[in-house]
Structure 1
Amino acid sequence: MFRWFESLIDAFKEPVDSMPPQPVWRFYVFYLRQVWPVFAAAIVVGFGVAIVEVSLFAFIGKIVDLARGAPSTDFFRQHGNELLWMGFVVLMARPVLIGLHDLLVNQSIVPNLTSRIRWQNHRYVIRQSLSFFQNDYAGRIANRIMQTGASLRESAVQIVDAIWYVTIYTGSAIVMFAHADFWLAAPLVVWLVLYVGTLAYFVPRTKERSWRSSEARSRLMGRIVDGYSNILTLKLFAHTRREEAYVAEALGEQINRTRAMTRLTTAMDATITTLNGFLIVGTSALAIWLWSQGKVTVGAIALSTGLVIRINNMSGWIMWVVNGIFENVGTVQDGMETISRPRVVQDVPDAPDLQVSRGKVHFEDVHFHYGKKGGVIAGLDLIVRPGEKIGLVGPSGAGKSTLVNVMLRLYDLEGGRILIDDQDIARVTQESLRSQIGVVTQDTSLLHRSIRDNLLYGRPDATDAQVFDAVRKARADEFIPQLSDGEGRAGYDALVGERGVKLSGGQRQRIAIARVLLKDAPILVLDEATSALDSEAEAAIQESLEVLMQGKTVIAIAHRLSTIARMDRLVVMDKGEIVEMGSHAELVARGGLYARLWKRQTGGFVAADDEVVA
């Protein structure tokens, strides 16, 4: 039975790949309409539960009226059917309806809807552009993904329950009171008007302050995670106190905004409690007075007094539920600010996959400025022939890495186009584009998973033999067997720590090279691929790099010019423009920018120079 209810909502249903809509009510509808049959069932069952709960108070009044006379041996014969019906409702209908309601909410909605919202939001956000993640805290983004799913589900369930309880309880109470005596309903009607007015005053203000509190909480989470993620920098610069002050500032803001919200909550609670006191006293006193005048029965006193006490308890519950609803709505609204953003880099509709047969890369009148005024790359033209190995050289800020980033379509061009085998990369899918390009970056960060998992990122279907071969070629087989983590895993099963912090820079770089060896893409980008290695380690893997580059179109970036001196052609960039082009020997002889950069290099590379010139 549990499994059947748990299967009603598929948490991993493939989402529509579109931006979740705004404003907040459309954001709710976007997710709730996906599970509307389950929610409709919960609404119907909730109606039944509310009716049954109210009928219990009617039963109490009825029993008092039936039993107020002298004892009679014919009591059960005269009223047996009514009593059996009451027993059936209490013993059978009520448990079944409440059980069904709990199954729908706790088994179907709570785990699965929450997870579906988180899954779909994650699916959308992870496809955002690189700039999206560069402009926010990773911790804050993750926090909003997690909070939004739970808050949306919880507030939706609360709305369903609260609507029926408010409608059925107050509506039925007014009808039953008026049926006994019209004036008996007067205190409840007055209370209802004041109660709704109180909620109308406090709830929107609570929602606003809740949103601000949630925003401050997300900022606090982002700062804390930022510090943990950069703990080495924090310790190396001995700025623990500074970091504490940085987090304390956000924590203080979060406390102040939470206090502003809770002040409203306390004021609303006090107001509702006072109104409830007048409701209980007014209704009970009026019922007793009407009974003393012979206008209502003792059962009416029992019914009205019991029901207003129940309404008193329910009103407090409703107040907290409504407050919770809008607090959750504020949290959803905060999350929506991050989640519901258009993607800057998107595939065109029905984009085909990139097909690479030769590996020719053509940069045609490329313009890109990171959205800033002034040129990073302006009007650049470059053709990399199939199988050609070029080196990009130039001072920091020349635009070398930017050129690679736009080729990978981490950013969209502002002008011009980039062609791979005569296919515009802006017209093909991003996944297929990046699957055809192997990249070893300057700042190699690994996933906090095992060595094997990190290697298989290059090729998930690789066999153990292929993995071991790639590791051997990257000279990573020297240290992997000796690795272990804090939980006793060793070798290929050892976890590498967040961003690979348990490995040295050279070890991370060798894992990255092995990963790209496994990927075996026709186009290869080496962005400072050996920058983390000392001269001895660099020399040890030069042969591996030669194997890696065989038969591929290669674009290599390096400040250590010895690593690219053997390239077919060197392209020298400065301020986003190509200023020189040629072989190492030609550029050294020319005496331009490349020659000056070469002269600045420290020892150990003269042999490479002599070999190339020779």
Structure 2
Amino acid sequence: MSDKTEQTSDTAQASGQTQGTAKSAGGSEIPAGYETAAHVKGPLFSIRDRENLRWFWTRYLRHRVKWLLLILMMILVQGFVYQQFLAMTESGLRVIFESGAVRDLVIVCIIVFGLFALRGLMSFLVPIVAIRVSNAAVHDMRSDMIDHLMALDLAYFERTRSGQILQRLVGQTQSIGGFVGVQLANAVRDAVTVLIVSGYLIWKNPILFGTAVVVLPFIIWVMNYVSDRVKETQGQVEHAMAEYMNGIEETVNGMRTVKIASQEHMEAGRLKAGTRHLREISARLQVTQALVMPTIDLSSAFVYVLVIGGGGYMVLSPDFDVDGAGIITFLLGMVMVFDPARLLAQFFGQLQSQLVVLDRIRSIYDEVPSIQDVPGAVDEFDVAGDIVLSDVRFSYSADQPLFRGLDMTFEGGKMSAIVGATGSGKTTILSLLSRLYDVQGGKISIAGQSICDLKVRSLRESFSVVAQDIVIFNNSIWENIRYVKPEASDEEVWRAAEAAEIADLIRARGGATVGPKGAQLSGGQKQRIAIARAFLRDAPILLLDEATSALDQATEERIKSALDRLTKGRTTIVVAHRLSSIADADRIFVLEAGALIEDGRHAELLAKDGLYARLYQAQKKGYDGR
């Protein structure tokens, strides 16, 4: 465990529960900004919702307005077809009831068929164009999210579960794309149909239409009632899904431990419990959304009764100029209004869910990287100069300071080593040197120049790192080495492989992949890949972070020659647990609880008979006793 992990595990766990979420009455987490929905009935669109919609429109839809206008024009054609269908239906009914001319009836039928053929063509084209627009928007959104994620500080990834990132980058963006590409286009079509057909019905019989819409305020009230509950429940669903995905990832990544410990039943039980929770909360969301449809159905039945009763009275009464054809057409028109109106009501329920999803996506952009180039930052600096930590102060959490004024000097061109117990700050020093974190006080300089005045990219390109935890991709060994320098020539890669003594393995395996996380490689082979990467990068400053601590002594001896060649002529800083491996270091720094308590050469520190000497003797006794 690294020194940082020990100090921040509890803090990260606590902050993870509050970052971007709040507790609902039932104990589940919901997105920040939506926590009041469970207690106070809010507007259909909150201020945050409007901001998110404006953000989505501005970044991903506004520059595609010509395609959106094309979609709107085709939808207007669909609405116009329905209005003309009603007009032709009334004419056809009068032909049947009054004139009885077969020729006129045939003409009406041909026109109606042509109208619906036109609507069918529009129904085919609208989703095609809408899906193309939404797919392009999703592509741009994912690209922007990837760029933003790559720019965020390491601290964000250490406090955010990977399942949450995966859910936002994959599932939630796809959900938004499907909603915009299909459901939103359908909703606009339904709204246009309602407006055009309603306008026609008002023109035909305003009294009867006015009677029919008396239920409209009730429908609006139902939608507001349901939307509040959908918004809260959808937040709980999104959180539960992120937890579920994270649990699956942890189980898959730890399958070796699961199998060895024979804990398959426990992991299956844990995942099944997550499945049940997700099912229950999803069912609650679906039940909430399902309240809309029966309400609209009952309202529709009430309207139809009013139209039939009121329209029948108008036909029977001599005071109104209404005939049977007009009433039948009006009823048909009300069906055309209420069917899309039902779909619109359902759409608004789904919209509340998507607003929560959109808020989750946009919340990534609320994270702003703190480690950036300052104005006037430079590229050039003396990479061979001394690296100096002056009165450095740093902590991962305010109540647990790590460094309270640390002073250290790593001489340029020489090997320096840092030793100490777990949690003493060894790995943190390397993180501060490469600006994965910034110091909170004091200064770190290279050849007298503060690293904060250097461009971050230039600073980090001056380091090569060989760490205990090596990232190996499911690719060939060759491509894994080349990862740190994609533009490297074949000759350069072979030179690095030969220097790291892994060239023979490349020849034996060829282009075969090494499995997820290098599962087909031994620890020593992974270390040689890391060393080959460092040779290929050929940076002037080398950081070795417990590079051999996971290896047995025999394997360590085999790669020691490669490490010796790698460190020659470079400023090298070694974090070591095995003290015998840094006996030749030019200077050794001994840390305890974030404080420097000893420094010197190996022999000098042994002569002091302090902490270093005690650690060395304890390790030596352990090796001798084996």
Mapped contact 2:475–2:515 kept (Cα < 8 A) = yes
- How far, CA to CA, are the matches of 2:372 and 2:77 in structure 1? 48
1:25-64 aligned at under 5 Å gives the runs 25-34=50-59, 35-39=61-65, 41-43=67-69, 44-45=72-73, 46-64=75-93
Of 205, 219, 224, the match for 1:195: 219
CA gap of 1:103–1:523, structure 2 versus 1, over 3 A, is same
- The DSSP-based 3-state class of the residue aligned with 1:417 is strand
Letter in 1 for 2:161: Y
CA drift of 1:90 comes to 4.8
* Offset from partner CA, 1:215-250 (integer Å, 9 cap, x none): 111111111111111212222333333323433443
- How far, CA to CA, are the matches of 2:80 and 2:103 in structure 1? 30
Aligned residue number for residue 112 of structure 1: 136
Structure 1 position 383 matched with structure 2 position 427: no
Structure 1 position 534 matched with structure 2 position 560: no
CA drift of 1:62 comes to 3.6
CA drift of 1:366 comes to 0.8
Aligned residue number for residue 305 of structure 1: 331
* Offset from partner CA, 1:3-50 (integer Å, 9 cap, x none): xxxxxxxxxxxxxxxxxx993432332232233142464253234433
Give unpaired runs (5+ residues) of structure 1.
Answer: 1-20, 483-490, 607-614
- How far, CA to CA, are the matches of 2:113 and 2:258 in structure 1? 68
CA drift of 1:533 comes to 2.4
CA drift of 1:131 comes to 2.3
- How far, CA to CA, are the matches of 1:349 and 1:47 in structure 2? 53
* Offset from partner CA, 1:277-333 (integer Å, 9 cap, x none): 222333234333323336323442232222222233223322332222222222223
* Offset from partner CA, 1:567-591 (integer Å, 9 cap, x none): 2211222221222222212222222
Structure 1 position 566 matched with structure 2 position 592: no
User: Please, what is the CA RMSD of the aligned residues?
Assistant: 3.0
Aligned residue number for residue 505 of structure 1: 523
Letter in 2 for 1:550: K
- How far, CA to CA, are the matches of 2:622 and 2:558 in structure 1? 14
* Offset from partner CA, 1:497-534 (integer Å, 9 cap, x none): 33222222111111111111111111100011112322
- The DSSP-based 3-state class of the residue aligned with 1:383 is strand
Structure 1 position 328 matched with structure 2 position 328: no
1:302-451 aligned at under 5 Å gives the runs 302-338=328-364, 340-348=366-374, 351-353=377-379, 355-451=381-477
Give unpaired runs (5+ residues) of structure 2.
Answer: 1-32, 34-46
- The DSSP-based 3-state class of the residue aligned with 2:422 is coil
- How far, CA to CA, are the matches of 1:406 and 1:85 in structure 2? 77
- The DSSP-based 3-state class of the residue aligned with 1:369 is strand
Structure 1 position 549 matched with structure 2 position 583: no
- Once the two structures are overlaid, the 10-residue window that deviates more, 520-529 or 34-43, is 34-43
- Once the two structures are overlaid, the 10-residue window that deviates more, 151-160 or 562-571, is 151-160
* Offset from partner CA, 1:551-580 (integer Å, 9 cap, x none): 211001111122211122112222212222
* Offset from partner CA, 1:411-449 (integer Å, 9 cap, x none): 121111212233322333333222211011112231233
CA gap of 1:163–1:405, structure 2 versus 1, over 3 A, is same
Structure 1 position 246 matched with structure 2 position 270: yes
CA gap of 1:286–1:492, structure 2 versus 1, over 3 A, is farther
Of 97, 106, 127, the match for 1:102: 127
* Offset from partner CA, 1:140-164 (integer Å, 9 cap, x none): 2111221232233344456753664
- How far, CA to CA, are the matches of 1:88 and 1:254 in structure 2? 48
CA gap of 1:240–1:442, structure 2 versus 1, over 3 A, is same
- How far, CA to CA, are the matches of 1:428 and 1:31 in structure 2? 35
Structure 1 position 289 matched with structure 2 position 318: no
Aligned length: 573
CA drift of 1:544 comes to 1.2
- How far, CA to CA, are the matches of 2:538 and 2:375 in structure 1? 28
Mapped contact 2:500–2:528 kept (Cα < 8 A) = yes
- How far, CA to CA, are the matches of 2:193 and 2:308 in structure 1? 17
1:185-224 aligned at under 5 Å gives the runs 185-224=209-248
- Once the two structures are overlaid, the 10-residue window that deviates more, 466-475 or 549-558, is 466-475
1:17-28 aligned at under 5 Å gives the runs 23-28=48-53
Letter in 2 for 1:58: A
CA drift of 1:597 comes to 1.8
CA gap of 1:39–1:162, structure 2 versus 1, over 3 A, is farther
Aligned residue number for residue 611 of structure 1: none
- The DSSP-based 3-state class of the residue aligned with 1:601 is helix
- How far, CA to CA, are the matches of 1:23 and 1:179 in structure 2? 40
What TM-score results when the alignment is normalised by the length of structure 1? Answer: 0.85
- Once the two structures are overlaid, the 10-residue window that deviates more, 274-283 or 111-120, is 274-283
- How far, CA to CA, are the matches of 2:50 and 2:510 in structure 1? 49
- How far, CA to CA, are the matches of 1:40 and 1:204 in structure 2? 34
Of 172, 190, 193, the match for 1:169: 193
- Once the two structures are overlaid, the 10-residue window that deviates more, 140-149 or 548-557, is 140-149
- How far, CA to CA, are the matches of 1:83 and 1:255 in structure 2? 50
Aligned residue number for residue 12 of structure 1: none
CA drift of 1:472 comes to 1.8
Letter in 1 for 2:127: D
CA gap of 1:605–1:589, structure 2 versus 1, over 3 A, is farther
Mapped contact 2:79–2:196 kept (Cα < 8 A) = no
CA drift of 1:52 comes to 3.4
- How far, CA to CA, are the matches of 2:220 and 2:494 in structure 1? 70
CA drift of 1:273 comes to 1.6
